[in-house]
Amino acid sequence: MIKSYVTGFPRIGEQRELKRALEGFWSKKEGFDNDRLQTTAKTLRARHWAYQKDAGIELISSNDFSFYDLMLDTIFALGVIPTRFAKFSGQELYFAMARGADTAVAMEMTKWFNTNYHYIVPELNKDSKFALNADKIIAEYKEAKENGVKTKINLIGPITFLALSKTTDDSCAFCHLDTVVTKYSELLEQISKLDDEVIVQFDEPIFVTDKDEKLAPKIVPVYEKLTSVANNVKIVFMTYFEHALKAVNEVVKTKIYGLGLDFVYGERNIEALETIKNSNVVLFAGVVNGRNIWKTNIDERVKFVKEIETKLGGKDFYVGSSCSLLHVPFTLKYEEKLNPEIKSWLSFAVEKLSEISIITALANGKELCEVGAKIYAENKASANSRANSSLIHDKAVQERVSKLTKFEREMSFEERIKVQHKALNYGILPTTTIGSFPQTVELRILRQNFKKGEINEATYNDGIKKYIDECVKFQEDCGLDVLVHGEPERNDMVEYFGEQIKGYAFSQNGWVQSYGSRCVKPPLLFGDVSRPNPMTVEWISYAQSKTSKIMKGMLTGPVTILNWSFVRDDKPRAQIAKQLALCINDEIADLQDAGIKIIQVDEAAFKEGYPLRAENIGAYEKFSVDCFKLSVSSARPETQIHTHMCYSEFNDIIKTIEAMDADVISIETARSGNELLKIFKAVGYKQEVGPGIYDIHSPRIPSVEEQVEQIKALLEVLPKEQLWINPDCGLKTRKWEEVEPSLKNMVEAVKIARAL
């Protein structure tokens, strides 16, 4: 018998209800108190469980809901709270850890493996104390049961929790392993009292990385203890995003009930089936893509599931999503403007539930109900349409890519930087920002009204120009050296470009959670791509006309556009990236011709696209570096190319970053101290660097003194001639009342630092 499950489900709401409730609560907006926040959350959980139950999913999760992040929830549940938050408690403590407070810097945030989701990084030291608080976990299980759903409880596994933690001293996170396992055991004791039988899903994705060799020996002792806590608690060891072959060999030695493997992104997991067949472990096979938005080819997946069944010797197993569905938009229900043919190729979280149920039913030889039969017929028609559609293929684009030869700029960096210093004439410790400025309510309304056709283009353009005028004036008054136009015309750094690139489509409501209340709406790259017209020249040129200072052109790089899009799965990503690189290459040529002297090509998502296994990294690095260099190869020597990277640990990729050959790189260091910067010094990095000196993800305003100390710390690592001073990321999510004093303080801090 084959049963269905879902690894996890989106929590933001089908129309971002949680986002609005959170932001209203944080801003103390009238009517948005804690009661409203809790009511919204309870309504969403009930609705999400109902969607899954109604679709026929047999094993549904609780505790996959979070107000911010499941890793933060785990930190909170284990009671391992950094001492700087000692004066806070309850919900105030929870949000202070995530967002910071006047007296406490927010905890570090970084990407969840190679996705665009972010998690809060646990902070440990040798003196860390733990105190279990299981209230949320227990309450949500009971709440689901009241809604008629008996759930599996989702938890971050103890080994993954510690492996993703950072220590603030010279201790090792795993010195706390025994304590953490004890707390998890106490939690399982409480869970065991909830029902006659409870399934608990421990997410252990750390075992799909190359850390598995070192960590695999911990599986047996840890899970022997956890499986012995209570006979009525069944543990599922869940992995996703890649193969977990080393973990499989250890899991089968334990009394673990189930093992979750990703058969979409971890194709080698097929090699584990013989081992699982000869064990007592039940397979949870992730066969429906939880990270992309294309319809599953049901016939192909049913055939694959039957192959699994054969290899397992007829053993019972589960089929479901390859990972949590929080990585895809909620539902297609509200998509009214998409090209019908393109829409027919898509499947969001709610639609994937039906795919899982239909695959399960067909693999079991069951007849589909009327609704299921209709969905199945549409699925077959969609597969045929996508394979043959004229919307997808562009011979001119394919021919241009096939004839590529130039991937390098005309001079070496050492030669270029001399030309640039002479042409640009900026001094020591030049100041700038990363690009975006606050996206005000008025600005959002302006864009929305224009998209709805409620205002004409002239009115819209006047509004954008007014914002740019104000943005330029503020930067001049503030004393910044290199200015930006503020990006008022851009809703999103990828969507904006996608809207102007042929081969893209856009959803109305395809929002995906990035962190906390922050959602992104990735564009849909469905076919060959090209740039019909200039994309940014008009607005950058207008901004430059308003100042005698240098105005930076702002572009998004090809790898980031690729990694932050839902990308067609019928063509190699390297080929698609080259097509995108040519679009950026053409734009740089046009910006130069318009007199723009500094152009920033953001590769914010460069690191997150890295394969999780070393065996695949070389190919990714080659096409990523080649595509960045192809993008900027049209830049003349005197044109300075900047790039920006987010949430990146550079230790393992610094040589790759160097090979990209950008003249200036800005990086996020505010939450990480100077850990990232030291690697630049260690390898003798030649190019100029702009380490972010304050954290823009927190609403707190850093003082002049604080920023002076940060600059002093930077100068201990790199010479002042090599440093730029800037915030650590774009400012679009902040408010003007936060941005203005923060940047003024930054400029004052630089004045003091220059005089040291």
What residues form the annotated binding site for Zn(2+)? Answer: 644, 646, 668, 729
469 vs 221, 299, 554, CA distance in Å? Answer: 63, 57, 17
Residues annotated as binding site? Answer: 16-19, 111, 116, 434-436, 487, 518-519, 564, 602, 608, 644, 646, 668, 729
What residue has token string 């959670």? 513
Q: What is the CA radius of gyration of the chain?
A: 26
Which residues are known binding-site members for 5-methyltetrahydropteroyltri-L-glutamate? 16-19, 111, 116, 518-519, 564, 608
Burial of residue 617 (CB within 10 Å: 0-12, 13-18, 19+) is middle
Annotated binding site for L-methionine: 434-436, 487, 602
What residues form the annotated binding site for L-homocysteine? Answer: 434-436, 487, 602
Tally DSSP H helices, then E strands, for the chain: 28, 23
Measured distance CA(322)–CA(241) in Å, rounded: 7
- Long-range CB pairs of 539-545 (<8 Å, 24+ gap) are 539/464, 539/468, 539/485, 539/489, 540/485, 540/591, 540/594, 540/596, 541/594, 541/595, 541/596, 542/465, 542/468, 542/485, 543/468, 543/471, 543/472, 543/483, 543/484, 543/485, 543/486, 544/594, 544/595, 544/596
Contact 158, 177 (CB under 8 A): yes
Q: Report the C-alpha gap between 3 and 203 in whole angstroms.
A: 20
Residue 358 Cα to chain centre, angstroms = 30
Asked if 350 and 51 count as a contact pair (C-beta separation under 8 A), the reply is yes
| Inter-residue contact 529 to 502 (CB < 8 Å) | yes
Neighbours of 666 (CB within 10 A): 28
CB 724 within 8 A of CB 690: yes
339, two tokens: 């090209």
Known catalytic residues are 697
Spatial neighbors of 704 by CB under 8 A, at least 6 apart, are 745, 748, 749, 752
d(CA 734, CA 700): 10
Residue 693 CA to residue 370 CA, distance in Å, equals 59
Closest CA to 484 of 535, 416, 555: 555
